[in-house]
Amino acid sequence: MYGSSRGGMMFGSGVGSKRQRMMQSNPSYLAVGTFPVVRLRGLPFNCADMDIFNFFTGLNIVDVLLVTKNGKFSGEAFVVFAGPMQVEIALQRDRQNMGRRYVEVFRCYKQDYYNAVAAEEGAASEYNLSPPPPARAQQRFCEKEKLEYTEVLKMRGLPYSANKPQIIEFFSGYKVIEGRVHVVCRPDGKATGEAYVEFETAEEARRAMAKDKMSIGPRYVELFPTTREEARRAEPRSRR
């Protein structure tokens, strides 16, 4: 199946997913032959969204969809850019290395990307991506509940303008360590839409998962348990 992140699973909420809203707010993406997407193959198996942002430094990425099979990252991904000209530049990075592996970058059809999103979110049709059946959504929630919790949660899907005070306000009522909130940025200083938040205890972090799928501004936010080590690695890339 397909997932938006290695080890993480994502499903629609409310009127639809972030990707559904992106498609609806960018009708030109639906025009035949203009969908600015490429497919990557041969990615390292520890690849994360940030690695793809770094690989395409200088280009404006709208969405990254990492492909998983049986819960494990497959080494493939879809990357949507802001326009067709950026796709042409991205294709020039074919066979360049990420770590010790060279990465294939090639054209693909918008149908391939939509099918991947549909598989990820349990959609019933190509363009009207809907939330999955309640049983499936509940199953995914239970899977998160079974994960091992530390004091740290990872946030994904934040508005690019989100800052630390907004994140602390989002977790109002939960014991956040204010000095341990990190909004992750790309090398060019632009936000990635991710952040790490540390709580006083692992149990408090588990309690804060009640905020999963709730909104900051116009976007709903996904929460995932993660480790202190991953949060520490993100610190050098964090907004000051």
DSSP 7: T
Categorize the per-residue pLDDT at 82 as very low, low, confident or very high, splitting at 50, 70 and 90. Answer: confident
**For residues 222 and 156, what is the distance between their CA atoms, to the nearest angstrom?**
5
- Claim: this prediction has a pTM higher than 0.95: no
Contacts of 190 (CB under 8 A, 6+ apart): 160
124 and 167, same domain (yes or no): no
What is the mean predicted confidence (pLDDT) over 208-225?
85
Cβ contact 103:83 at 8 Å: no
User: Is 126 inside any structural domain?
Assistant: yes
CATH of the domain at 37: 3.30.70.330
Q: Is there a single domain that holds both residue 36 and residue 98?
A: yes
Residues 6+ apart with CB under 8 A from 10: 3, 4, 17, 120, 121, 222
Does residue 2 lie in a domain region?
A: no
Domain limits at 191? Answer: 147-237
Residue 3 counted as domain residue: no
Q: What one-letter code names the amino acid at 109? A: Y
Does 87 map to a domain?
Answer: yes
CA distances from 162 to 139, 159, 183 (A): 30, 5, 8
Last residue of a domain, one of 97, 132, 167: 132
Mean pLDDT of 168-191: 90
Q: Is there a single domain that holds both residue 127 and residue 161?
A: no
Decide if 139 is inside a domain: no
Could you identify the residue written with the tokens 């363009």? 127
Residues 173 and 128 in one domain: no
Q: Do 126 and 23 share a structural domain?
A: yes
DSSP string, 148-166: PP-SEEEEES--TT--HHH
Higher pLDDT among residues 31 and 113, named by residue? 113
- Overall domain count for the chain: 2
Average pLDDT over residues 118-143: 44
Q: How many residues does the chain have?
A: 240
The verdict on 203 and 124 lying in the same domain is: no
Residue 4 in any domain: the answer is no
Query: Among 89, 109, 132, which residue terminates a domain?
Result: 132
Residue 7 has pLDDT above 50, yes or no: no
